[in-house]
Chain A
Amino acid sequence: MTTTRNPGLEDPTDVRAIPRRSMGQTLLASGTVMALVVLIIFFFAMRPDVFLGFTNVRNILYQVAILAIISGAQTIVMVVGDFDLSVAATSALAGAVASSMMLGGTPVPVAILVGLAVGLLVGLVNGVLVAYLNLSAFVATLATLTSVTGLAFLVTEGTTLFKMPAEFNNLGQGRFLQIPLPVFIATAISLILWALLRYTTLGRRWYATGGNAEVSRLSGVNVRLARLLAFTVAGLVSAIGGILLAARLGSASAVQGEDNLLFSVAAVFLGMTVVRSGAANIVGTLVGVAIIGVMSNGLNILGVNSYVQQVVTGLIIIAAVTLSSLKTRER
C-alpha cells in the first residue's frame, strides 16, 4: 500500500519494521501444527494405500464438517474469554425442533428457520445470564445445557425422529462435485466467522473484551453487548451444526452429537496454541478439528478400538498444548 509518509528505514513506528509473519510461517512454528503433520505422516506410513486416497480424505472432511461448525461457535465465545457448555445440547435441540416440525408437515425451509431461531434464542439466554446477570459462564451454560437437553427430550418425546423429507436429508447426505454438501457449508461458515473476527468492528470488540474487559469498557466498548452477541452468534451457529447433523444422520435425538461439546473445547484450545497471542482463532480451531478428525479416522483405519481412540485423543491434546507452552516459556 502506498502512503505519503516518509519511508525511513529506522522509523521505529513503521508497521513494516517487523515483517508480519505470514500465516504459513506462523503455522509451521507451532507445535500443534507439527503434531498434525506428524499424525498425517504416521497414518500415511501405516496405510499408504488407503489413508491419503481421495475417498478417505473425503471421509475425513465429511466426518469433521459438523465438529468444525460447532467448534466455530465455541471459538467465538472463547474469544471473549468465556466458554459455552451448551453448544452441543443447543445443536441437538435445534435439530430436534426442525425435524419434528417437518414430520408435522411444516415446509422444510420454515422448519429449518425455526430450528435456527431456537438456537439463537438459547444463545441469547446464555448471553443475558452471563453478560447482564453476571453469572459465570460455567454455571450459566451448564444450567442451559441441562434445560435445553430436557427440552430436546420433550420435543423428541424421548425417541429418535426419522423419515424426514428427502430434500432435507439431502442437505446432509448429498454431494456436489463429489464432495459432500456439509463440507461446503462448514467451509462457508468458517470463512464467515473468520472474516467476522478479523475484519469487523464486532470482531475487534470481541478480541478486546477477551483481552481485558475493563480496559475495553474504559475505552468505550460496550462490553456487555459484545459478550451477549458472542453467545447469541454461538447459539445460532450451533443450531446450524445441529440441523445439519440431523440431515446427515437422517434422524434426530435429544442427545446426538454430545461428543461435540468436549471436542469443540479441545479444538479451540489446540487452536489457541497456534498463534503467538494465545487467543482463540478460527484458523487454529480448524487445525484442532483436523487433528481430532485425522486421529479418529486414522485409528479407525488401523482397526483401533474406539475407546482407545478416546484415550489417545486426550493424550494428543496434552502433548500439543504442552509443546506450545514450553515454547512460550522460552521466550
Chain B
Amino acid sequence: MAVNQDFAGRTYPPSGPWPVDADLIAAFAAAVGAEDPVHTDPEAARAAGYADVVAPPTMAVRFSQQADHDYISDPDAGIDFSRVVHGEQRFVHHRPITAGDELLGTLTVDSIRAAGGHSMVTTRTELTTASGDAVATCTSTIVVRGGGE
C-alpha cells in the first residue's frame, strides 16, 4: 500500500496534555549524557532564570512522536511502520520546556513526496501550553521505504 497523498496538509486536533516533571527530565538527560545541572538541580535552573529544571533540547521528541502517532497508525494513511526510517528532525524552541509544564501537541502533515521509490513524509508538531502559548516547533521527516507492495 502506498502512502496516501490525500493526508498532506491535514491538521489534527491537539494531543495531550502531557505533564512534564523533574523525574522525566532527569531520566532523559541521563540517557543522552546531558550533565548540565539545569536539568537536575532546581536551584541551578532558577539561578539561570528558569521556572524549574529544564528539558534537554531534544526531549520535545517524546511529545511530538506521540502527536505523530494518530496519523502514522491510521490505516488510511498507508504508512507501514516496519518500513519507516527517521530521515530528519528539527526543533525550534520558543522557550525551554521545564518541569511543571503541561503540553499540547498539534500535528500537521506538511508534505508527502515520492523520492527514488520511497515516500518522504514531513510532519510538524506545534507544542503549546494549555492556553496556547508557543513552546516548540518540532519537524520530522520519515522515509517510508518502497518495494514492499
Q: Do A and B come from one complex?
A: no
A-side interface residues toward B, CB under 8 Å? none
